[in-house]
Chain A
Amino acid sequence: GAGVSQTPSNKVTEKGKYVELRCDPISGHTALYWYRQSLGQGPEFLIYFQGTGAADDSGLPNDRFFAVRPEGSVSTLKIQRTERGDSAVYLCASSQDWGAGELFFGEGSRLTVL
Protein backbone atom coordinates (compact mmCIF):
# COMPACT_ATOMS: atom_id res chain seq x y z
CA GLY A 1 0.00 0.00 0.00
CA ALA A 2 0.90 3.64 -0.20
CA GLY A 3 1.33 4.06 3.54
CA VAL A 4 1.55 2.18 6.80
CA SER A 5 -1.77 0.51 7.51
CA GLN A 6 -2.95 -0.45 11.00
CA THR A 7 -5.99 -2.44 12.07
CA PRO A 8 -8.19 -2.15 13.94
CA SER A 9 -8.35 1.61 14.22
CA ASN A 10 -10.27 1.26 17.48
CA LYS A 11 -10.48 -1.63 19.90
CA VAL A 12 -12.47 -1.72 23.12
CA THR A 13 -11.91 -4.71 25.35
CA GLU A 14 -12.41 -5.82 28.90
CA LYS A 15 -9.72 -6.15 31.49
CA GLY A 16 -8.04 -9.54 31.28
CA LYS A 17 -8.78 -10.16 27.62
CA TYR A 18 -6.28 -10.86 24.84
CA VAL A 19 -5.76 -8.35 22.03
CA GLU A 20 -3.96 -8.40 18.69
CA LEU A 21 -3.06 -5.28 16.73
CA ARG A 22 -1.89 -5.52 13.13
CA CYS A 23 0.54 -3.40 11.15
CA ASP A 24 1.13 -3.56 7.40
CA PRO A 25 4.24 -1.48 6.60
CA ILE A 26 5.14 0.28 3.41
CA SER A 27 6.16 -2.26 0.78
CA GLY A 28 9.90 -2.83 0.76
CA HIS A 29 10.56 -1.31 4.17
CA THR A 30 12.69 -3.69 6.18
CA ALA A 31 12.56 -1.79 9.46
CA LEU A 32 9.34 -1.81 11.50
CA TYR A 33 8.68 -0.17 14.85
CA TRP A 34 5.91 -0.22 17.41
CA TYR A 35 5.30 2.76 19.67
CA ARG A 36 2.71 3.50 22.31
CA GLN A 37 1.25 6.96 22.83
CA SER A 38 -0.71 7.84 25.93
CA LEU A 39 -2.96 10.87 26.06
CA GLY A 40 -0.97 14.10 26.11
CA GLN A 41 2.38 12.35 25.78
CA GLY A 42 4.89 11.66 23.06
CA PRO A 43 5.15 8.19 21.55
CA GLU A 44 7.19 5.68 23.55
CA PHE A 45 9.26 3.05 21.79
CA LEU A 46 8.21 -0.57 22.28
CA ILE A 47 9.98 -2.81 19.78
CA TYR A 48 11.94 -2.72 16.53
CA PHE A 49 12.12 -5.36 13.83
CA GLN A 50 14.77 -5.63 11.15
CA GLY A 51 13.33 -8.16 8.74
CA THR A 52 11.74 -11.02 10.65
CA GLY A 53 13.69 -10.68 13.86
CA ALA A 54 13.05 -8.43 16.82
CA ALA A 55 16.32 -6.51 16.93
CA ASP A 56 15.37 -4.49 19.99
CA ASP A 57 12.47 -5.22 22.33
CA SER A 58 13.78 -3.14 25.21
CA GLY A 59 10.69 -0.93 25.24
CA LEU A 60 8.14 -3.66 25.89
CA PRO A 61 6.78 -2.89 29.37
CA ASN A 62 6.43 -6.50 30.57
CA ASP A 63 5.97 -10.06 29.39
CA ARG A 64 2.29 -9.55 28.60
CA PHE A 65 3.40 -7.75 25.47
CA PHE A 66 4.76 -9.66 22.50
CA ALA A 67 5.18 -8.90 18.81
CA VAL A 68 5.92 -10.98 15.74
CA ARG A 69 6.79 -10.38 12.12
CA PRO A 70 7.00 -13.89 10.69
CA GLU A 71 7.52 -13.07 7.02
CA GLY A 72 9.33 -9.78 7.37
CA SER A 73 6.35 -7.68 6.34
CA VAL A 74 3.14 -7.60 8.41
CA SER A 75 3.62 -7.41 12.16
CA THR A 76 1.24 -8.23 14.99
CA LEU A 77 1.46 -6.77 18.49
CA LYS A 78 -0.09 -9.11 21.03
CA ILE A 79 -1.18 -8.10 24.50
CA GLN A 80 -2.22 -10.74 27.01
CA ARG A 81 -4.34 -10.23 30.13
CA THR A 82 -4.97 -6.60 29.26
CA GLU A 83 -5.03 -4.02 32.05
CA ARG A 84 -6.65 -0.59 32.14
CA GLY A 85 -3.19 0.96 32.03
CA ASP A 86 -2.65 -0.55 28.60
CA SER A 87 -5.18 1.90 27.16
CA ALA A 88 -3.35 4.04 24.61
CA VAL A 89 -2.83 4.55 20.90
CA TYR A 90 -0.44 1.97 19.48
CA LEU A 91 1.49 3.36 16.53
CA CYS A 92 3.39 1.41 13.94
CA ALA A 93 6.12 2.94 11.78
CA SER A 94 8.36 1.67 9.04
CA SER A 95 11.50 2.83 7.26
CA GLN A 96 13.61 1.52 4.43
CA ASP A 97 16.26 0.47 6.90
CA TRP A 98 17.22 1.24 10.48
CA GLY A 99 18.33 4.81 10.83
CA ALA A 100 17.68 5.45 7.15
CA GLY A 101 16.21 8.85 7.78
CA GLU A 102 12.49 9.17 7.74
CA LEU A 103 10.09 6.97 9.67
CA PHE A 104 6.58 6.72 8.27
CA PHE A 105 3.86 6.27 10.87
CA GLY A 106 0.48 4.64 10.55
CA GLU A 107 -2.77 6.12 11.87
CA GLY A 108 -2.56 4.00 14.99
CA SER A 109 -4.81 1.56 16.84
CA ARG A 110 -6.64 3.11 19.77
CA LEU A 111 -6.98 0.52 22.53
CA THR A 112 -9.40 1.06 25.38
CA VAL A 113 -9.42 -1.44 28.22
CA LEU A 114 -12.52 -1.20 30.40
Chain B
Amino acid sequence: ELKVEQNPLFLSMQEGKNYTIYCNYSTTSDRLYWYRQDPGKSLESLFVLLSNGAVKQEGRLMASLDTKARLSTLHITAAVHDLSATYFCAIYSGGGADGLTFGKGTHLIIQP
Protein backbone atom coordinates (compact mmCIF):
# COMPACT_ATOMS: atom_id res chain seq x y z
CA GLU B 1 0.00 0.00 0.00
CA LEU B 2 1.30 3.40 -0.98
CA LYS B 3 2.01 5.66 1.97
CA VAL B 4 2.75 9.36 1.97
CA GLU B 5 3.94 10.69 5.28
CA GLN B 6 4.39 14.32 6.18
CA ASN B 7 6.40 15.61 9.07
CA PRO B 8 5.52 17.53 11.13
CA LEU B 9 1.72 17.40 11.09
CA PHE B 10 1.47 20.57 13.11
CA LEU B 11 3.88 23.46 13.29
CA SER B 12 3.71 26.77 15.10
CA MET B 13 6.46 29.22 14.33
CA GLN B 14 7.25 32.88 14.55
CA GLU B 15 7.50 35.32 11.69
CA GLY B 16 10.97 35.68 10.29
CA LYS B 17 12.03 32.11 11.05
CA ASN B 18 12.99 29.40 8.57
CA TYR B 19 11.57 25.90 8.60
CA THR B 20 11.27 22.76 6.49
CA ILE B 21 8.35 20.40 5.98
CA TYR B 22 9.21 16.85 4.96
CA CYS B 23 7.29 14.47 2.73
CA ASN B 24 8.32 10.80 2.54
CA TYR B 25 6.65 8.29 0.26
CA SER B 26 6.83 4.54 0.07
CA THR B 27 7.03 3.75 -3.65
CA THR B 28 8.80 5.07 -6.69
CA SER B 29 7.30 8.16 -8.25
CA ASP B 30 8.64 10.84 -10.51
CA ARG B 31 5.83 13.28 -9.99
CA LEU B 32 5.22 15.06 -6.72
CA TYR B 33 2.85 17.91 -5.95
CA TRP B 34 2.64 20.45 -3.17
CA TYR B 35 -0.70 22.10 -2.38
CA ARG B 36 -1.81 24.78 0.03
CA GLN B 37 -5.24 24.78 1.68
CA ASP B 38 -6.71 27.65 3.69
CA PRO B 39 -9.50 26.86 6.19
CA GLY B 40 -12.77 26.13 4.43
CA LYS B 41 -11.17 26.58 1.03
CA SER B 42 -10.03 24.30 -1.73
CA LEU B 43 -6.51 23.27 -2.65
CA GLU B 44 -4.19 25.68 -4.39
CA SER B 45 -1.37 24.20 -6.43
CA LEU B 46 2.06 25.40 -5.34
CA PHE B 47 4.60 23.19 -7.09
CA VAL B 48 4.82 20.24 -9.45
CA LEU B 49 8.15 18.40 -9.24
CA LEU B 50 8.79 16.08 -12.15
CA SER B 51 12.30 14.72 -11.82
CA ASN B 52 15.00 13.77 -9.38
CA GLY B 53 16.82 16.83 -8.13
CA ALA B 54 14.06 19.20 -9.19
CA VAL B 55 13.96 22.41 -7.23
CA LYS B 56 11.32 25.10 -7.58
CA GLN B 57 10.94 28.38 -5.75
CA GLU B 58 8.10 30.85 -5.44
CA GLY B 59 8.54 33.74 -3.08
CA ARG B 60 9.40 32.43 0.38
CA LEU B 61 8.66 28.81 -0.51
CA MET B 62 11.08 26.38 -2.09
CA ALA B 63 10.37 22.74 -2.90
CA SER B 64 12.78 19.98 -3.82
CA LEU B 65 12.54 16.33 -4.81
CA ASP B 66 14.93 13.43 -4.20
CA THR B 67 13.43 10.40 -5.90
CA LYS B 68 16.18 8.08 -4.70
CA ALA B 69 15.46 8.90 -1.08
CA ARG B 70 11.71 9.13 -1.83
CA LEU B 71 11.71 12.49 -0.12
CA SER B 72 10.46 15.96 -0.91
CA THR B 73 10.95 19.06 1.19
CA LEU B 74 9.09 22.35 1.36
CA HIS B 75 11.30 25.04 2.82
CA ILE B 76 9.93 28.27 4.22
CA THR B 77 12.27 31.23 4.40
CA ALA B 78 11.62 34.19 6.71
CA ALA B 79 8.04 33.14 7.34
CA VAL B 80 5.22 35.68 7.28
CA HIS B 81 1.73 35.37 8.76
CA ASP B 82 0.11 35.05 5.31
CA LEU B 83 1.77 31.69 4.86
CA SER B 84 -0.36 30.19 7.64
CA ALA B 85 -2.28 27.31 6.04
CA THR B 86 -2.27 23.54 5.70
CA TYR B 87 0.26 22.18 3.22
CA PHE B 88 -0.17 18.85 1.48
CA CYS B 89 2.20 16.81 -0.61
CA ALA B 90 0.82 14.26 -3.05
CA ILE B 91 2.21 11.79 -5.55
CA TYR B 92 1.14 9.65 -8.44
CA SER B 93 2.03 6.06 -7.77
CA GLY B 94 1.36 4.80 -11.27
CA GLY B 95 0.74 1.11 -11.75
CA GLY B 96 -2.79 1.70 -12.94
CA ALA B 97 -3.77 3.97 -10.09
CA ASP B 98 -4.76 7.22 -11.64
CA GLY B 99 -5.39 9.32 -8.57
CA LEU B 100 -3.04 11.30 -6.43
CA THR B 101 -2.23 9.95 -2.98
CA PHE B 102 -2.05 12.75 -0.44
CA GLY B 103 -0.28 13.05 2.86
CA LYS B 104 -2.24 14.05 5.95
CA GLY B 105 -1.07 17.63 5.65
CA THR B 106 1.04 19.95 7.76
CA HIS B 107 -0.97 22.53 9.64
CA LEU B 108 1.24 25.61 9.79
CA ILE B 109 0.59 28.57 12.06
CA ILE B 110 2.87 31.57 11.80
CA GLN B 111 2.59 33.98 14.67
CA PRO B 112 3.52 37.66 14.48
Contact B92 A42 (CB under 8 A): no
CB-defined contacts of B104 to chain A, threshold 8 Å: 40-42
Chain B minimum-CB-distance residue to A59: B99
A33 to B44, CA, bound (A): 15
Contact B48 A102 (CB under 8 A): yes
**Binary contact track A6-36/B, C-beta < 8 Å → 1, others 0:** 0000000000000000000000000001010
> Which residues 78-112 in B have Cβ within 8 Å of A in the complex?
88, 90, 92, 96-105
Measured as residues with beta carbon below 8 angstroms from the partner, the interface class of chain B is: 20 to 34
Cβ-defined partner of A107 (8 Å) among B42, B96, B101: B42
What secondary structure prevails in chain B residues at the interface with A? strand
Contact residues, A87-112 vs B (CB, 8 A):
91, 93, 98-99, 101-108
Confirm or deny: A58 has a beta carbon within 8 angstroms of a beta carbon on chain B.
yes
Q: Evaluate whether A42 and B103 lie within 8 angstroms (CB atoms) in the complex, with A55-B98, A101-B48, A102-B48 already known.
A: yes
List chain A positions with a Cβ less than 8 A from chain B.
Answer: 33, 35, 40-48, 55-56, 58-59, 91, 93, 98-99, 101-108
Residues of chain B whose beta carbon lies under 8 Å from any beta carbon of chain A:
4, 31, 33, 35, 41-45, 48, 50, 88, 90, 92, 96-105
